């Protein structure tokens, strides 16, 4: 069934819809989310339907303050508290022991829940206007590139969500960093908006998750965040030479290349600027009619790790 989708900044309308068990797309500093009352399993089910998301992929719960964290988790380890103090509100999700109040559907039956306090002022105001936290995945159809503007959401979920709260373009541009604890050790599940180096400066060495979190934690699925156009990642001149007969758009950090199209993410060499523009560039390249998207490997430091992670997953769709 199709609904009329409205883009606007009416917080009371957004809060009214959420209180009634409906969906609202919300701006965050990372990407737009598709939100519902995290305590209402029926409302949460609508998220899975609208995204065509498999039920094995758990959602992140967005909280307004530290007190709300204690409603949704059973315990906060000292390292998690230190990270909250340093990086919240901000692009960091912590996977912690789940409280019974959170419906199993939110966490796909896991005993843990991903929690994050978003930094976008409009969504913070919305969280203060409703008496529950918001379960929200990125507001894209499952497996596609995440939206960083209200229009991106409308382009793909128009007719499936009644209201898109317009908070302008996202300032970080890649999803949150996700951390969890395995046998007391902090592990990285997804590189994202907070660089791992910054996390290690607070709590020391972070490991790679040894144990599979789920069947697979889908942010970790090899093929994800993928445009429809095939993506190749690697040395750009060599890839262009090998595919000389195809029309290619190049996604690069600082330099233009001899190709049909170029998406240079930061001529000045700023990884924050590059991350901010990454998903919009992937969408433009996908819509350009090119045969191929060729992406460069970014510096493997700071936000460059999240950029490389998303590009590799986009490429894995055809290669893997």
Q: Which residues here bind Mg ion, judged by CB under 5 A?
A: 138
Minimum Å gap between C-beta 310 and Mg ion is 10
Instruction: With residue 79 as reference, give the H or E element that holds it.
Output: helix 78-87
Q: Any contact of residue 194 with ligand TXA (CB under 6 A)?
A: no
Q: Which parts of 23-62 interact with ligand TXA (CB under 6 A)?
A: 28, 30-31, 33, 57-60
Fill in the DSSP letter of residue 145: P
> Which phi and psi angles does 282 have, rounded to 5°?
-60, -40
Minimum Å gap between C-beta 91 and ligand TXA is 6
Q: Which residue is nearest to ligand TXA (CB)?
A: 219
- Per CB under 6 A, the list member of 123, 176, 229, 252 interacting with ligand TXA is 176
Residue 178 · residue 192 · CB < 8 Å: yes
Pattern 209-248, ligand TXA, x by CB under 6 A = ----x---xxx-----------------------------
Minimum Å gap between C-beta 266 and ligand TXA is 21
Integer CA distances (angstroms), 234 to 67, 250, 268, 306, in order: 46, 11, 21, 16
Q: Any contact of residue 156 with ligand TXA (CB under 6 A)?
A: no
Q: How far apart are CA 301 and CA 196, in angstroms?
A: 9
Helix, strand, coil tally for the chain in percent (to 5): 35, 20, 50
Q: How far apart are CA 279 and CA 248, in angstroms?
A: 17
Q: Any contact of residue 311 with ligand TXA (CB under 6 A)?
A: no
Q: How far apart are CA 240 and CA 162, in angstroms?
A: 43
Q: What residues make contact with ligand TXA under the rule CB under 6 A?
A: 28, 30-31, 33, 57-60, 91, 93, 95, 107, 110, 112-114, 116, 136-138, 175-176, 178, 189, 213, 217-219
């Amino acid at each position: 069934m199709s609904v009329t989708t409205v883009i606007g900044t009416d917080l009371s309308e957004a809060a009214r819809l959420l209180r009634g068990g409906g969906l609202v797309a919300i701006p965050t500093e990372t990407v737009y989310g598709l939100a519902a009352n995290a305590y209402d399993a029926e409302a949460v089910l609508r998220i899975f339907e609208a995204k065509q998301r498999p039920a094995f992929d758990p959602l992140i719960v967005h909280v307004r303050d530290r007190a709300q964290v204690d409603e949704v988790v059973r315990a906060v380890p000292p390292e998690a508290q230190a990270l909250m103090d340093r990086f919240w509100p901000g692009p960091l999700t912590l996977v912690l022991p789940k409280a019974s109040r959170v419906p199993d559907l939110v966490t796909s039956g896991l005993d843990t829940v991903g929690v994050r306090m978003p930094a976008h002022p409009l969504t913070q105001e919305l969280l203060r206007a409703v008496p529950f936290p918001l379960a929200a995945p990125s507001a894209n159809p499952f497996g596609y590139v995440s939206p960083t503007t209200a229009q991106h959401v409308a382009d793909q979920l128009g007719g499936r969500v009644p209201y898109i709260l317009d908070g302008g373009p996202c300032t970080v541009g890649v999803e949150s960093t996700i951390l969890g604890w395995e046998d007391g050790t902090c592990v990285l599940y997804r590189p994202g908006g907070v660089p791992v180096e910054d996390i290690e400066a607070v709590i020391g060495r972070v490991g790679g998750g040894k144990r599979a979190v789920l069947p697979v934690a889908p942010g970790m699925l090899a093929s994800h965040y993928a445009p429809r156009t095939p993506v190749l990642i690697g040395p750009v001149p060599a890839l262009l030479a090998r595919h000389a007969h195809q029309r290619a758009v190049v996604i690069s950090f600082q330099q233009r290349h001899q190709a049909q199209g170029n998406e240079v993410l930061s001529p000045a060499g700023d990884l924050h600027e590059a991350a901010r523009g990454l998903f919009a560039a992937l969408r433009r390249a996908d819509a350009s009619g090119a045969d191929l998207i060729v992406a460069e490997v970014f510096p493997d430091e700071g936000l460059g790790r999240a950029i490389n992670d998303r590009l590799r997953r986009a490429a894995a769709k055809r290669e893997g």
